[in-house]
Structure 1
Amino acid sequence: MDKNFPTIKTDRLLLREITNFDLENIFNGLSNPKVIEHYGISFDSLNATKQQMIWYKNEKQMWWAICSLNNQVFYGAGGLNNIDCKVKKAEIGLWLLPEFWGKGIMKETLPLISDYGLNQLKLNRVEGFVETENINCKRAMSKLDFQLERTMIDCEIKNRKLISLDVYVKTI
């Protein structure tokens, strides 16, 4: 573990560094059809998931394991991608295991991560790219003070189909 990696706590959540001990939990999430329906990455084996673990360690990413306060239950992962200190922006991402959907974890976690980026990393902008058809995530972003900035029409291919992305932004 990196002694300098920030741990964030609330009354019920612990956000801590992702470690190799989380490999199975990460695989369980990123191989689950419900999780990956609107997520850009999926894995079909524990071995393949090791690539994601390497990605989490990249200096342009800062991702936390989202756990119960006692660190006994793994809920999901969230963090900042493509951190660009020159331009002072990053992309926010988060996924939860389906059994923890609708329990307010996303609502509690996203502000912690975006506030960390804006206040601790001194970013000017945190962006969230949401598939236009992901109504639940779009609703959550709006409730959490992210502003819809634009829609990028047919900008990516997923499952051999063009998809559009809505860009939500939170600034200082």
Structure 2
Amino acid sequence: MQSERLIFRKFNLDDIDDVYEFGSDDETCEFVTWDKHKNLIETKKVVEDIFMKNEYCFAIVEKISNKCIGSFDFRADIKNNSLTFGYVLNKKYWNKGYMSETLNFMLDYAFNTLKVNKVCGLHIKENVASGRVMEKCGLKIEGEFEDAEFFKGRYITLVYRGILRRNYKGE
């Protein structure tokens, strides 16, 4: 699958160095829900045991460089015909529109290929940039959960956003 500047594909072991680059970076990992990677062995385990085993986990690859610059995944709620997504992007590629391009592509995939009724995302309230990406792509705030999780030594507020099929691009 691909958009204008990006390729979305399954992860493979050739991605380990690129995943370690963003998975071990303090700034990139500030708002992700997992601990930053300590070494390449840990990254290899994450790629093999999580990324490669999840049918809906995609490497975000920049076409021009063929570099894996991030990940995007869906978690399915079969009973409710909905998906919840998560993403991370290497900080070297922030503020270039790559995450908005990714989310727009994945929303189209979710609604028009997978035929789900709803797509949801969560972000830490302080992660304003992630909230802007979701808002730009049409996701509306459906609630805030104060002190929702104990995260990296503190309680955090999570912002829950969603979009319904009927509200996606006027449908």
Q: Shorter-normalised TM-score: what interval? A: 0.7 to 0.9
Pair 1:36 & 2:29 matched = yes
Q: Name the % identity.
A: 25
Alignment partner, residue 58 of structure 1: 53
Q: In structure 2, how many angstroms separate the alpha carbons of the residues matched to 1:70 and 1:169?
A: 32
Alignment partner, residue 129 of structure 2: 136
- Give me the TM-score of the superposition, normalised by structure 2: 0.88
Alignment partner, residue 118 of structure 1: 111
Alignment partner, residue 72 of structure 1: 66
1:93 equivalent among 78, 86, 94: 86
Matched residue SS, 1:33: coil
Q: Which amino acid aligns with 2:53?
A: N
Q: In structure 2, how many angstroms separate the alpha carbons of the residues matched to 1:52 and 1:127?
A: 24
- Give me the TM-score of the superposition, normalised by structure 1: 0.87
Q: In structure 2, how many angstroms separate the alpha carbons of the residues matched to 1:160 and 1:35?
A: 18
Alignment partner, residue 6 of structure 2: 13
**Relative to structure 1, is the Cα distance of residues 73 and 56 closer, same or farther in structure 2, using a 3 angstrom cutoff?**
closer
Matched residue SS, 2:27: helix
Q: In structure 1, how many angstroms separate the alpha carbons of the residues matched to 2:152 and 2:66?
A: 35
Q: CA deviation at 1:70?
A: 5.1
Cα deviation per residue 1:104-141 (whole Å; 9 max; x = unaligned)?
10111111112212222222111111001111111221
Structure 1: 4+ residue segments shifted above 4 A: none
Q: In structure 1, how many angstroms separate the alpha carbons of the residues matched to 2:43 and 2:69?
A: 17
CA RMSD of superposed structures (Å) = 1.6
Alignment partner, residue 23 of structure 1: 16
